[in-house]
A and B are shown apart, each in its own frame.
Chain A
Amino acid sequence: MKEKTLVPDEDALLKFINTTYSPTRRLSKKTDLIRDEVIDSYGIIELIEFLEETYGIQIPDERIEPDSFRDVSAICALVRSLL
C-alpha cells in the first residue's frame, strides 16, 4: 500500500475515466457512470485498482456499491472518506 500523499482530483479522475472507459465519447464530471453503463461490474475492477494504487487506500467491501461510483464527485467523496 502506498503512502497517502495525494488528495482526489476531479480533473485527473475524469481524465482516467475518459481514457479507460470512453475514448471516443468525452464524458463530463456529471455523467452518471452507472446509469449510462460506462462502468459495469467488470469495469469497476480497473477503477478500484486505480484509486487504491493512486491514493493509497483500501476500499472496503461495504463501499463497493453503485452509489459510491455514480459520478466523479461521488468517487472523490469516497476517496476522501478513506484517506
Chain B
Amino acid sequence: MTKTLLSHCKGSRFRLVGEKIWLRPLTVDDATGRYLSWLNNAQVNEYSSRSGKVFKKQDVVDFISSANNSKERLLLGIFTKDDDYHIGNLQITIIDLLCGIADIANLIGEREYWGKGVIKDADSQAVHFGFTALRINKFIMGNIAPHRASTFKSRSLGAKLEGRLRNHAMHNEQLVDVLRFGLLEEEFYSKFSHLIGRPTWTPNNVSALIRKTT
C-alpha cells in the first residue's frame, strides 16, 4: 500500500512546503559539486557512518538514482524558500510495510544553516506528510549517543527513546552506544498541533491520488 504511495511522489512536481524551507524529490541534476563536498566534509559527517569515507560525484548520482528507483525510499532535497538553495537532504524509508513503520533521516550539508531551525522545519513537514498522507503508523530514527544534537532533534519531534544498543558503533576509534527512537502519530501532533488538518504538500492531488490507491 504505502510502497505505491511513495512512488507516486517521485519524478513529479511534488513539494513539501515548510516555514523556512521546502522539499522536493532530487534528480541526478542535483548531484552538484557542492552536494559532493558535504559528503566529504569531516565536520558535516562527524557522527555519520559516512565519516572517514571518500565519495565521488558518481556516488552521489548512484545514490539519487537508487533512491528514485526504489519503492521503499523517498529522497527529498531540502531547499531554502528564499532563494531555492539546496542545503541538505531528507529520506523516508519504509522498513515494515505491514506495520507501517518508516525510518527518517536527514543531512544539512550547508553548515551556515546549522542552528537556524531548518532541520526541525524539514522533519516536521516530512513526518506530517508521512502520518497524514502515507498512513505511516510509526517513524523510527536513531543516532550514536555522542550525537546529542540528533538526540535533542528526535525528542523535539516528540519521539521517545525506545532502546539503547550498547557498544554498537565506532566513533573516534571508540565503541559507543546507539540510541533508537520511535515516534507515534499522537506524540508528534501533541507538539505540532498547528499542522493538524493542514496539508502542506503540493500538488494537492497527491493526497487524492493516495486515497485512490489505498
- When distances are taken between beta carbons in the complex, the residues of chain A under 8 Å from B179 are 61
Number of interface residues of B (CB under 8 A): 18
Proximity bits, B78-122, A CB within 8 Å = 1, else 0: 000000000000000000000000000000000000111101100
Judge whether B153 is part of the interface by a CB distance below 8 angstroms.
yes
CB distance from B169 to the nearest CB of A (A): 14
Bound together, the chains give a CA A64 to CA B161 distance in angstroms of 10
- When the two chains form their complex, are residues A66 and B152 in contact, meaning their CB atoms are under 8 A apart? yes
- When the two chains form their complex, are residues A41 and B119 in contact, meaning their CB atoms are under 8 A apart? yes
- When the two chains form their complex, are residues B114 and A42 in contact, meaning their CB atoms are under 8 A apart? yes
- When the two chains form their complex, are residues A64 and B117 in contact, meaning their CB atoms are under 8 A apart? no
Which of A9-17, A22-30, A43-51, A73-81 is near enough to bind chain B? A43-51
Given A48-B148, A61-B145; A41-B161 close (CB under 8 Å): no
CB distance from B132 to the nearest CB of A (A): 23
CB distance from B192 to the nearest CB of A (A): 12
Interface residues of A in 51-77 (CB under 8 A from B): 61-62, 64-66
- When the two chains form their complex, are residues B149 and A41 in contact, meaning their CB atoms are under 8 A apart? yes
CB distance from A3 to the nearest CB of B (A): 23
Q: Per a CB cutoff under 8 Å, which of A34, A45, A48, A61 touches B156?
A: A34
Proximity bits, B157-195, A CB within 8 Å = 1, else 0: 000010010000000000000010000000000000000
Judge whether B151 is part of the interface by a CB distance below 8 angstroms.
yes
Judge whether B155 is part of the interface by a CB distance below 8 angstroms.
yes
- When the two chains form their complex, are residues A45 and B155 in contact, meaning their CB atoms are under 8 A apart? no
- When distances are taken between beta carbons in the complex, the residues of chain A under 8 Å from B115 are 40, 42-43
Judge whether B150 is part of the interface by a CB distance below 8 angstroms.
yes
- When the two chains form their complex, are residues A44 and B149 in contact, meaning their CB atoms are under 8 A apart? yes
- When distances are taken between beta carbons in the complex, the residues of chain B under 8 Å from A65 are 152, 155-156
Bound together, the chains give a CA A69 to CA B164 distance in angstroms of 23
- When the two chains form their complex, are residues B151 and A66 in contact, meaning their CB atoms are under 8 A apart? no
- When distances are taken between beta carbons in the complex, the residues of chain A under 8 Å from B117 are 37, 40
CB nearest to A43 among chain B residues:
B115
- When the two chains form their complex, are residues B156 and A64 in contact, meaning their CB atoms are under 8 A apart? no
- When the two chains form their complex, are residues B119 and A45 in contact, meaning their CB atoms are under 8 A apart? no
- When the two chains form their complex, are residues A66 and B155 in contact, meaning their CB atoms are under 8 A apart? yes
CB nearest to B123 among chain A residues:
A41
Interface residues of B in 54-79 (CB under 8 A from A): none
Taking beta carbons and an 8 Å cutoff, which residues of A are in contact with B? 34, 37, 40-45, 48, 61-62, 64-66
A-B contact pairs, 8 of them (CB 8 A): A40-B116, A40-B119, A41-B152, A42-B114, A42-B149, A44-B148, A61-B179, A66-B156
Closest 4 CB pairs of A and B: A41-B153, A65-B155, A42-B115, A41-B149
